[in-house]
Amino acid sequence: METAVLGYSSRRLGAACAVFKTEDGTRRTDMENLWCILCTEAGHLIWKLRCERVIQHGGAEFTKREITNRFYAALDARLTLDRRVAAMASSKRALKPDDVERIWMPVLDNSKELPPNWVVQSGVLVGIRRGR
């Protein structure tokens, strides 16, 4: 069981700064990193869709399918970016392939079937698990 602890300021400006802990109080930093990615990508997509709807489409609403597809495309792009950054990791503080794997595994489709070193292998196709 895990819980998210959100303070007053995190609800306002830093909603992506949730602290996830196990029942014994150990922080789940990989889950916190994934939450941060999901929050920031979702927020950015909402802003882009609103601007696009108002400026380019005269206020016409997007369909649920369009929004869902755009969200998954944004997550796929972010995963690709994280994989590329991890493949070029050279400093102590750089994002490492193991970090990418731990952060993204909970939302990857068929994650158990991925080959070793899938993070740095450029030919591997990885997809975000779609809601069913």
Q: pLDDT per residue over 37-73, tens digit each?
A: 999 999 999 999 999 999 998 989 999 999 999 999 9
Q: How high is the pLDDT of residue 2?
A: 47
**Domain range enclosing 18:** 1-62
Q: What percent of the chain has pLDDT over 70?
A: 80
Q: Are 68 and 128 members of one domain?
A: yes
Q: Are 71 and 129 members of one domain?
A: yes
CA angle 81, 82, 83 (to 5 degrees): 90
Q: Are 55 and 86 members of one domain?
A: no
Question: In this structure, are residues 46 and 59 in contact, taking their beta carbons and an 8 Å threshold?
Answer: no
Q: Are 45 and 3 members of one domain?
A: yes
Q: Are 87 and 127 members of one domain?
A: yes
Q: What is the pTM (predicted TM-score) of this model?
A: 0.78
Q: Are 54 and 100 members of one domain?
A: no
Last residue in a domain, options 62, 88, 104: 62
CA distance 57 to 120: 39
pLDDT digits (tens, 9 = 90+) for 71-99: 999 999 999 999 999 988 888 888 899 99
Q: Are 87 and 126 members of one domain?
A: yes
φ and ψ at residue 27, rounded to 5 degrees: -70, 140
Question: In this structure, are residues 35 and 20 in contact, taking their beta carbons and an 8 Å threshold?
Answer: yes
Q: Are 44 and 13 members of one domain?
A: yes
Q: Are 131 and 69 members of one domain?
A: yes
Q: Are 57 and 69 members of one domain?
A: no
Instruction: Give the pLDDT band (50/70/90) at residue 128.
Output: low
Last residue in a domain, options 12, 38, 62: 62
Tokens (6 digits) for 92: 């102590």
CA distance 39 to 34: 9
Say whether pLDDT at 9 is over 60.
no
Q: How high is the pLDDT of residue 52?
A: 95
**DSSP conformation letters of 45-71:** HHHHHHHIIIIISTTPPPPHHHHHHHH
Query: Hey, is 6 helix, strand or coil?
Result: coil
Q: Are 54 and 97 members of one domain?
A: no
Domains held by the chain: number: 2
Say whether pLDDT at 100 is over 90.
yes
